[in-house]
Every structure is written in structure tokens, then in C-alpha cells.
Chains A and B, each alone.
Chain A
Amino acid sequence: MLLRQKINLLVPREFSGRAYFSACREFLRQISSGDQTQSRRQPIFLARSFDQQPCSQELHGVIAKLKTIRQRILANTLLRRWTKWFVWMLIALIAVAAVITKLAGALFFIAMVAAVGAASVLVWTWRNRPSRYETARRLDSAAGLRDRVSTAIYLGGIADHDGMIGEQRRDALAHLVKVDPRGFFPLQWPGNARRAFVLVLLAAGLFAYRIHHQPPLISLLQTTARSQLVQSILSPIVHAMEKDLQRTVALVTMKPEATGEELQRSDAVSSSDDLWKADDKAAGAEAQKDAADAGEGDQPQDQLQAPGSQEGNPSGDARQDSNSQSQEGKSGNESADDKSQEQSEQQGPEGRQSLGQSLMQALKNMMSNSPNQQANNRAAQKPSGQGTPQSGNSQQPGATESDKRGESRGNSDAKQKATQTASEGAGSQQGSKELRKDQESHPVNAVPDRVALEASGFKEQTRMKVATETGTAQLADRGLSPQQDAVVNGAEQENIPARYRFYVQRYFEHTDNGKH
């Protein structure tokens, strides 16, 4: 802005490169030579010219004292500025030593910058050193001389022995004798000297450490990356990503038509509802058999996973399921069919009762989104997932090949477990199945449209699209939004209040009990 004004003063109507150059040159010339107008605004700079002018003999003693004071002021200023610059260089050194592996080049560069900076500080300080007049002003201010010395220095070139100036000069000298001017300007350490000392110690320690070690910041980063804290922070994120991946794979590999048929078959068999209990009972035996069936092909996968995650995380089951589906051969499928038959024979009234409880628990889990209940749900799923990592897998291929009753039970069981492990809750699938059964028994009036909506707060749940008019359910449509479903069913409200959910839950429970 200042430059533009100067250009406008020089060349009012045009703004060419030549005008710009001349304005820059004029500006630099004024800076280098010290413009008179600027000096008039700053009389202190003008007073520097008094350093070169002869002074009265009476003031020689004062000038000698002022010279000493000026040297001390200059020394203090240099010390302060150099310390400040030194602190910045030390910070740079510490940063370099903490990060950079090869120090030679960086140290050379920092040394060069430090030397240039120190020289610049020296030149700048010397160029802006206080003049004799400025020093006298500081002395007046420090010693309380009420501008006597500065006025005397200002008028030092005037010979007026008997006049007012001579009186003033003598008055200044008389008052200056009473004080010790050097005592007001001692050489003192700068304020940030302590900080610089601490940084020197830190830098020395860091370089001593660097003699035999690599940069500490890099080491710290590596150690942190390996630490359990970071693992504990990152593992849930990794698991969540794995779950999403598994869910996607399950949705892609699963055919909707086959799923519908499987559901119909599983609904047709009344005793297939309580396969969970049977699975729990047969978990130990299946684990042994699966270990034998899996052979060498499944073993590396089990070894890759940490024991804790394999036991506690149901997603590990699903991953193993999908992998084993692709790896196991036909023999494995046949053996799985046999197992499912055995399981169906072992089911009884206790199994039904436990399934009802499981359904209730799943519904409760579905309704609430609290982490405690999810944790309980995981804990409840632990035994089945822990002991039978591949049982569901071995049963699932048989579901597509055979049409027997026992096989269909096995299919439904495998499907339930796969979906359950993928969704961490298993409540959605079970609840959907119950819903569908209720829809079959009460096709029109039993279930209102809103009941067909799923719990919206349960984010990790795999959503099912249930067509109330046909009574069929389509599994695992992740992209299905509740809003779309609500629009299809004629209900515009997506979020069902909690009291209505409990009402629906109790309604299902009542209907289920009445049916059985």
C-alpha cells in the first residue's frame, strides 16, 4: 500500500513496470540513506548525527560515561538476541537429532544457518545501536534525571557558557555526579538463558544417545505401533472391517431363492426351532470331529488367529465358515449331513424351551442397543462358537445338495449360525423367522404393518425384507433401508417407540405360547 502510494506520487496516471522499478529504487535509497522526512518524524534517529559532532569540553566526562553505558546496552542486546537465536537453533538441532537418521548434512546446514544468523544479529544490532542521545535518554529514565542529560547532549554543540544552555549543562553535570550511571546498566544474562541451558543439556543428551541408537522419535513410533495399547485401539476397527467384509461376502455368495426355500423348509419342520440347544450339547463332539475333518487345510487359519479373538469373536467363525466352504471337499459335506441328522434326532422339548428363551433374549438384544447387552450376547454365543468353529460350515453345503428333513435342519442351523456370527446378535434372524411364522398363522390381522419394521437402532443387524402379503422373507439385504420398507408397507413412521416395541415383543411371545 505504501509502495503503491509512492508510485502514485511519482507517476500519477500510470502504473508501469518502470514506475514500479523507480519507486522501489527510491524506497530502497531512502531506507539505506535515512530519509530526512523520516528522521524528522523520529528525532531519535536524527540525534545519531550528534555522535559525529564536536561537543562541549564540559560534557566530555558525560560522553565517556555514556559510551560505557552504550557498550553495556549493546552487549545486553546482543546477548539477548543471540540467546534467542541460539534457542531456535537448539530446537532445530533437537528436532533433527530426533527425526533424521543421517546427521552430518543436517548438522552442517544448521551450523551454516546458525553462523549466518549470528552474523546477521550482530550486524542488525550494531546498525540499530543506541546513539549517544538515546543512551542519555535511557540514563535519564533509569536514574530519574528528568531529561537533564539528554537535553545537555542535545545542546552540547552550542557554546553558551553564561546563558540558559550553560546553566542547563552545569545542572545536568551536577546531578549526574550524584548517581552511578553504570550501576543502572549492568551486564546481565538474558531472560531466556535458563531455557537455552536446558535445551543445551537436552541436545547434548540426545546426541549422546544418538551415538549408538537410531533417532528416538522413529523408535518411539515403531514401539508405539507394536504396543498393546495401539493394538487394543486398532483391533476393534479391524474387526469391524472384517465383519463388514464377511457380511458382504455372505450376501454375495448366498442366493435369495435358495434362502427362501431353506427358510420354508426350516419352518416346515417344527423341531428345527431348537437346534441351538442341540448345538450346544453337541459342541464338544463336533469340535473334535471338525478338527479331524478340517485336516491340514484348516489348521493354518486357526493358527493365524489369536486365541482370544478366535474364542471371543463370533466373526472368526463366519470367516472360517466361508473359507472352509471353499476349501472342503465333498466328503466333508457328506459327513456334515450325517451330523445334522444326528443333531435333529437329539432335539427334544428342552431344546424347544431353550430356543424360546434364546428368541426372547435375541429380541431383547435387538430392542436395546447398549453395549452391555451386546457383550452378554457375545458371551452367550461363546460356547457354540468356541467349540464348533466349523460345524456350521460342514452342514451348510449339504443344505444345497440334499432335500432331506434332517439336512434341512442342518441347513437352517448352519444358516442361523452364519448369520448370527456375522451380525453379532442373531436376534434379527430369529425374530424374523418368528415373525414369518406368525404371519403364516395370522396372515392379515395378527401383525400390523409397523410390526414388519425392524428395530432401527440396531445398526449391526442384518436386515430382512419381509413381504407381508406373500408371507415370504428375503434374507440379508443390507442395502434395504427401513424407510423403504415402511413406505412399502404403508407406514410412514420409521422409528417405533420403545413401548410399542415391547408391546409387539409381548404380542409375539403371547402368540408363540398360544400356538405351542
Chain B
Amino acid sequence: MTSSVGTEGQAGGQPLGQQAEFLAEKMAEVRGEISKAIVGQAEVVDGVLIALLAGGHVLLEGAPGLGKTMLVRTLAQAVAQKYSRIQFTPDLMPADVIGTSVVQENGDGRKSLGFQPGPIFTNLLLADEINRATPKTQSALLEAMQEKQVTVAHTSHLLEEPFFVMATQNPLEMEGTYPLPEAQLDRFLFKLRVPYPGREDLHDILDRTTQGTPATVSPVVNGTQILEMRKVVRAVPVAPHVQEHVVKLTLATHPENRENLLASKYIRYGSSPRGAQTLILGGKVRALLDGRYNVSMEDIRALILPALRHRIILNFEAQADGRTPDDLLEEIAGKICAK
């Protein structure tokens, strides 16, 4: 029997089963540490952790003041990783992000061009308000996000693993912004919407931030452990009917297929294979975080919106009818689940 499931018995010196348990425990601890600083936003925190363990990047979309920056900073403290922040502005240049070659003078007085790394050389990068930079600057992140390296003056520089980009964008102030190109959007594993806190959460936020001193976040895991966890994630088995469901979902977003009436009517470009990969990988992480060793249909359904909402491009008719990617995806998923 052929199976795509990794059957290696051990990784990192321990059996995979134990590593899976270790992953679940550690991630629960990380979640607890983050919850010291971030009130509520459980789905956003889970999405960020899933993306971190799946090896992807996250695009956070929400109004100002909802704790996006604090979430990234807290996560960096919890996983004990280097953290840097870039505030994207229209006059930001690519060299400001990835670094540049500068003239350096060595000990014997000879001058040469040396590479000065930019803020992208870190483990956790917060690209704040990424849609305010020009497409030229935005595209500077493309290679870094996908290949985990940057190329300057014909020289490639590897980024340190784990490399995790969290970009934010404000959906309110759209004037003077440059919407992210589809190619860059596709490189984000998830697009998470940061909602407003509820009544109880707001009370809790006020209590924490206006009384006493801010909570201190302790590191729980390190970078090496995160990389080991990523290997464990890839060993989680997927049943064929779950994988078939993912394939159906992805294909159902393609407008070229005339059987997809909804996609043909409202979608201009459907999801790429990265969307299916995201669903499977995210489902694996979610299963492990849930204490399971297999991906279930519930995992896939829970990840449809964050994994696919930024991978489908709506056409004019959808905008005229007031359709959003979220309701279209929910409708598509409902139809496929009903079959």
C-alpha cells in the first residue's frame, strides 16, 4: 500500500508519538504565556501558532489598537526568538528591508563592499502596515518569505530558521495604500482577521493594562524545538477521504471549471495548490494541538477561511453583488460537504 504518510519512527532522538505529545504540551504552554498579554483572540493566537509550526507566514488584518503588534512581540518572547519590526511607509525602500552593500574598511585600510543585513534577518518579523509600502518594497519580501533567503548584489544570504513573518494591514484607511499583489498574498499561509474584543475581554484588557505592571512572558520553547516540531507535524497521517475533501475544495474555487457555478460567477482567480498545501499542513498542526494524530474533516473545515480567503480573487460581479471571499468560501464548502 502506498501512502504519503511519513513512517520514520523517530525524529530528534525520540519517537514521533512522544514528540507529538511534547508538541501539544509545549504549545499549550505557549498559548498560556501569550494569554498573559493578549486577552481573548483565541482563534488568532491558534492561527498564529499553527502557521508557526507549519512553517508559514501570517497576514493579520484588523483595526488599529487590537493588539496585533503586541501579539507578535509576545510570541517572540514566548518562543525565545529574535524579533524585529518594520513600519512600512511609502518611502520605504527594499534596501531598508533586506539590507544593502556598503563600503567597509578592513584592518589594513583596504576598502571593500560588505553586506549590511537589514531588519529582515531575524526570526520573527513584524511587517507593520505592509500595504502602505510601494509594491517594489513589498516584493522585497517575496524571496525571503518563500526561499528563506535574500539576494543582494548577486549574493544570496540565508535567513535564520525559524523565519516567521507576521504582516499587518489596516482595512480602514485605504487611501495611499498599495494592495498586496496576488503573488505575495499567496505566500502567506493564513490571513487572519483580528476582531474587536467582547465585553468580558474588554473588561479584562482594562484591568490588565491600567493596573499594576504588565505581565512578564517567559520563554517556553526555542528555535530548535520549533524546527523539530515542524518535522513532527509533517508525519501526521491524512486519510484519503480527508485529502479528497481538500482537493475538492481547492478545485471548487476555480472558475475555469464550468461545474463550479458559484466560482464561475463570482471568482476571477481561484486558489493555487498552496491553498491545498496550507489546508493539509494546517490540519496536521491543528490535529496535534488537539491531541490527535490524524487530520479530520473538522480540521479542514476550520481552516478553510484563513487558508483560502486571500487566495481567491473576486470579479466585478461579486463586488457589485456585495459578496465577500468569506461567504463565497462558506457557500462552496457547504455545497461540497453536502455532496
- Chain A residues with CB under 8 Å of chain B are 43-44, 46-47, 53, 137, 146-148, 150-152, 154-155, 157-158, 160, 162-168, 171-172
A46, A152, A167: the one within 8 Å of B240 (CB): A46
- Could you tell me the distance in whole angstroms from the C-beta of A238 to the nearest C-beta in chain B? 59
CB distance from A34 to the nearest CB of B (A): 16
B299 to chain A, nearest CB (A): 8
CB <8 Å contact, B293 and A168: yes
Docked Cα-Cα span, A46 to B243, in Å, equals 14
Find the residue from A44, A53, A148 having the highest chain B CB count within 10 A.
A148
CA distance A363 to B157 in the complex (A): 114
Tell me the dominant secondary structure on chain A's binding face. helix
Contact of A155 among B232, B237, B244 (CB under 8 A): B237
Tell me which of B3, B238, B294 has the highest count of chain A C-beta atoms within 10 A of its own C-beta. Answer: B294
Of the listed stretches B5-13, B97-105, B162-170, chain A binds B5-13
Residues on A with C-beta less than 8 A from B5 are 155, 158, 164-165
Does B82 lie at the interface of the complex (its beta carbon under 8 Å from any beta carbon of A)? no
- CB atoms of A53 and B1 under 8 A apart: yes
Residues 110-151 of chain B: 1 if any A CB is under 8 Å from the residue's CB, otherwise 0? 000000000000000000000000000000000000000000
Residues of A within 8 A of B10 (CB): 162-163
Question: Can you list 26 A-B pairs, Cβ within 8 angstroms, ordered by A?
Answer: A43-B240, A43-B243, A147-B241, A148-B296, A150-B239, A152-B294, A154-B237, A155-B5, A157-B1, A158-B3, A158-B5, A160-B9, A162-B9, A162-B15, A162-B17, A163-B10, A163-B235, A164-B5, A164-B232, A164-B235, A164-B237, A168-B237, A168-B293, A168-B294, A171-B292, A171-B293
Q: In whole angstroms, how far apart are the Cα atoms of A37 and B5 in the complex? A: 21
Task: Give the size of the chain B interface in residues (CB under 8 angstroms).
Answer: 30
Chain B residue contacts of A154, Cβ below 8 A: 237, 239-240
Contact residue among A47, A146, A158 (Cβ-Cβ distance under 8 Å from B7): A158
Contact A155 B3 (CB under 8 A): yes
Q: By the criterion CB–CB under 8 Å, are A164 and B20 in contact?
A: yes
Give residues of chain B (291-326) contacting chain A, Cβ–Cβ below 8 Å: 292-298
Determine the chain B residues whose CB is within 8 A of the CB of A167 once the complex forms. 16-17, 20, 293
Smallest CB gap from A159: residue in B: B7
Q: Please indicate the chain A residues that have their CB under 8 angstroms from the CB of B295 in the complex.
A: 147, 151
Q: How far is the CB of A50 from chain B (nearest CB, A)?
A: 8
Residues of chain B in range 200-253 having any CB-CB distance to chain A below 8 Å: 232, 235-244
The 9 closest A-B pairs by CB, nearest first: A167-B17, A168-B293, A43-B240, A151-B294, A146-B296, A147-B296, A151-B239, A164-B16, A163-B9
CA distance A41 to B243 in the complex (A): 11
Bound CA span A151–B287, Å: 13
Contacts of B6 in A (CB 8 A): 164
Q: Which of B263-312 contact A (CB under 8 A)?
A: 292-298
Given contacts A158-B3, A164-B5, A165-B7, contact A151 B237 (CB under 8 A): yes
Query: Do A163 and B297 touch (CB < 8 A)?
Result: no
Q: A43-B241, A146-B298, A157-B1 given; name 5 further pairs at CB < 8 Å.
A: A151-B294, A155-B5, A162-B15, A167-B17, A167-B20
Note all chain B residues with C-beta closer than 8 A to A151.
237-239, 242, 294-295
A150 to nearest B CB, angstroms?
5
A155 CA to B4 CA, complexed, in Å: 11
Give bound CA distance, A150 to B295, whole Å: 11
Q: Is the CB of A147 within 8 A of B294?
A: yes
In the assembled complex, the Cα of A478 lies from the Cα of B20 at a distance in Å of: 103
- A130 vs chain B, min Cβ distance (A): 13
Q: A142: shortest Cβ distance to chain B, in Å?
A: 14
Q: Which residue of B lies closest to A141 (CB)?
A: B297
Q: Please, how many angstroms separate the alpha-carbon atoms of A325 and B297 in the complex?
A: 96
Contact of A163 among B15, B242, B244, B298 (CB under 8 A): B15
* B294 and A148 within 8 A (CB): yes
Q: Which A residues are CB-close (under 8 A) to B297? A: 146-147
For the complex, give the distance between the alpha carbons of A122 and B232 in Å.
47
A160 with B7: in contact, given A43-B240, A147-B242, A168-B237 (CB under 8 Å)? Answer: yes
Please state if A163 and B240 are interface contacts (CB–CB under 8 Å): no
Chain A nearest Cβ from B74, distance in angstroms: 30
Give the residues from 1 to 41 in chain B that come closer than 8 angstroms, CB to CB, to chain A. 1, 3, 5-10, 15-17, 20
Residues of chain B within 8 A (CB-CB) of A168 are: 237, 292-294
Contacts of A157 in B (CB 8 A): 1
How far apart are A275's CB and chain B's nearest CB, in angstroms?
A: 83
Q: Which residue of A is nearest B300, CB measured?
A: A147
For A162, the closest partner residue in chain B by CB is: B15
Nearest opposing residue in chain B for A152, CB measure: B294
With the chains together, A160 CA to B293 CA distance in Å? Answer: 13
- Collect the chain B residues with CB atoms within 8 Å of residue A158's CB: 1, 3, 5, 7
A163:B294 contact, CB within 8 angstroms: no
Q: Do residues B7 and A163 form an inter-chain contact, with CB atoms below 8 A?
A: yes
- Chain A residues contacting B294 (CB-CB under 8 Å) are 146-148, 151-152, 168, 171-172
Does B16 contact A163, Cβ atoms closer than 8 Å? yes
Q: A151-B294, A164-B16 are in contact. Are A43 and B244 (CB under 8 A)?
A: yes
Q: Assess the A150–B241 pair: CB atoms within 8 A.
A: yes
Please, how many angstroms separate the alpha-carbon atoms of A155 and B294 in the complex? 11
A137-B237 in contact (CB<8A): no
Q: Which residues of B contact A164 (CB under 8 A)?
A: 5-7, 16-17, 20, 232, 235-237, 293
Among B10, B17, B298, max chain A CB count under 10 A is at: B17
In the complex, what residues of B have CB within 8 A of residue A155's CB?
3, 5, 237
CB contacts under 8 Å to A, within B33-51, are none
Interchain CA distance A79-B178 in the complex, whole Å = 63
- Alpha-carbon distance A137/B297, docked complex (angstroms): 11
Q: Which residue of A lies closest to B299 (CB)?
A: A146
Minimum CB distance partner of A43 in chain B:
B240
Which residues on A sit within 8 Å (CB–CB) of B9? 160, 162-163
Q: Which residue of A lies closest to B291 (CB)?
A: A171
Q: How far is the CB of B11 from chain A (nearest CB, A)?
A: 10
Q: Which of A146, A147, A148, A150 has the most CB of B within 10 A?
A: A147
| Chain A neighbourhood of B7, CB < 8 A | 158, 160, 163-165
A163 to B295, CA, bound (A): 16
Instruction: Give complex CA distance A480, B10 in Å.
Output: 108
- Across the two chains, which residue of chain B brings its CB closest to A44? B241
How far, in angstroms, from A47 to B240 measured CA to CA in the complex?
A: 9
User: Which residues of A are found within 8 Å of B243, using beta-carbon distances?
Assistant: 43
Residues of A contacting B240 in the complex (Cβ-Cβ under 8 angstroms): 43, 46-47, 154
| A166–B241 CB distance below 8 A | no
Tell me how far the C-beta of A360 lies from the nearest C-beta in chain B, rounded to whole angstroms. Answer: 72
